[in-house]
A and B are shown apart, each in its own frame.
Chain A
Amino acid sequence: MPSVAIRGLDEVIEQLQNLDGTIIKAVAKAMDTRSVPRVVGKAKQFCTPGESPYEDMNFPTKIAECERKGIPYSGAPFHIGDLRKSITGKTERSGRSVKGIVGTNIEYAVYVHEGTTKMWARPFLKDAVIECMQSTVNDIETAINEAIQDAGLSSSEGSLFAGGLGQATGNIPTMPEDE
């Protein structure tokens, strides 16, 4: 029966165990400083006249109100800016879980977000999350890679798995580069 000898596996396992907390901390920091503020900013942008994707939406009551008050019509969910001002975000870390939360505490926000029989839904939070989805994934990926590099587990040739484990076992093929 063939036998396989793995050198340095204990060291790699120990380093990985130590890395766990470091990675979670790095991801939480990335969420707090980059991802969550980006989603908040995008949601606020969607509530800004001239920058909102809902500008051309049919919104009869708002049109009538604007006409009565003699102010320009805007389909953006914006009147005096309370809703936009109320959008905030935070990052919650619980055990190995990191959660970014973006929301508003304005009572009427749900009606703006989901729509009623008098106005179309303008889901400024949901659309902001979708628009920032890829950049959030990138933030997390960057944070993990940086944490691995800081821990000294990354070789100059590539990531932990392409270099570190590959060297330890000596027979794990590296993944081809993305085109």
Chain B
Amino acid sequence: MNSIIKTRIYTRLSTDATLLGLLGIKTLDTERVPFFDRQTLMPHIIPSITMTTTSTPKTLFPGVDAAGQVSGAILATVTEIPQFDIWVSADGGVSGDGLPLPSTAEDTEAIESRMDILLLLNSVNFIQDTRAWSGVSSTQAMYEPDTRLWHKSIRYSFQHFIMSGYGLV
């Protein structure tokens, strides 16, 4: 995924007080931000929301200028389908900020609902330079007995353009 877009998505999530509250966070500790790319099978922070990007279909076509004339620029419509995984420990407890930690399947659903609002329903202010957001899939909360983790997987789809010579547009 384009790194600029990715940063903007993480910023959108990490600056929302409601979402942070659902994760048991009052003041975000920059050393332990619970939103990150999934690099390892077991996330190093729980609760957390990890992102994995998989296939990204790209369509190339000639660019056009403001007058509708074909210009030399090449536009690429990039369709991103990021997978977000919500990880919650069934052990629960209280966070360092004194807030209850999410611990149930319902808690993962509440987190998902907040993400939907932040990414899908923010019709006034979508993530900058992106468009056509939609929900692709959402699993039931899956419980892993050995790790005592609740796991919910959500996929969204959105598009952005890349124009040669102009970077992200």
Contact = CB atoms under 8 A, between A and B. Distances in A.
A118 B54 contact: no
A118 B146 CA distance: 11
B142 interface: yes
Contacts of B142: 110-111, 114, 116
A55 B32 CA distance: 33
A127 B54 contact: yes
B144 interface: yes
Interface residues of B, number: 21
A85 interface: no
A133 B155 contact: no
A120 interface: yes
Nearest to B154: A114
Interface string A43-61: 0000000000000001010
A83 interface: no
B41 A121 contact: no
A133 B85 CA distance: 25
A126 B136 contact: yes
A170 interface: no
Contact of A130 (B41, B42, B52, B55): B55
A164 interface: no
Contacts of B52: 115, 121
A119 interface: yes
Contacts of A117: 41-43, 144, 147, 149, 151
A114 B41 contact: no
Give the bracket for the number of chain A residues in contact with chain B. Answer: 10 to 19
B41 A60 contact: yes
B75 interface: no
B85 A130 contact: no
A131 B151 CA distance: 27
Contacts of A75: none
Given A110-B139, A121-B153, A126-B137, A115 B57 contact: no
Interface string B63-101: 000000000000000000101010000000000000000
Contact of B144 (A110, A116, A131): A116
19 contacts: A110-B142, A111-B142, A114-B83, A114-B85, A115-B41, A116-B142, A116-B144, A117-B43, A117-B144, A121-B83, A121-B153, A123-B83, A126-B54, A126-B81, A126-B136, A127-B54, A130-B57, A130-B81, A131-B55
Given A117-B149, A126-B136, 15 more contacts: A58-B41, A110-B142, A114-B153, A115-B153, A116-B151, A117-B41, A117-B42, A118-B41, A119-B41, A123-B83, A126-B54, A126-B81, A126-B155, A127-B54, A130-B55
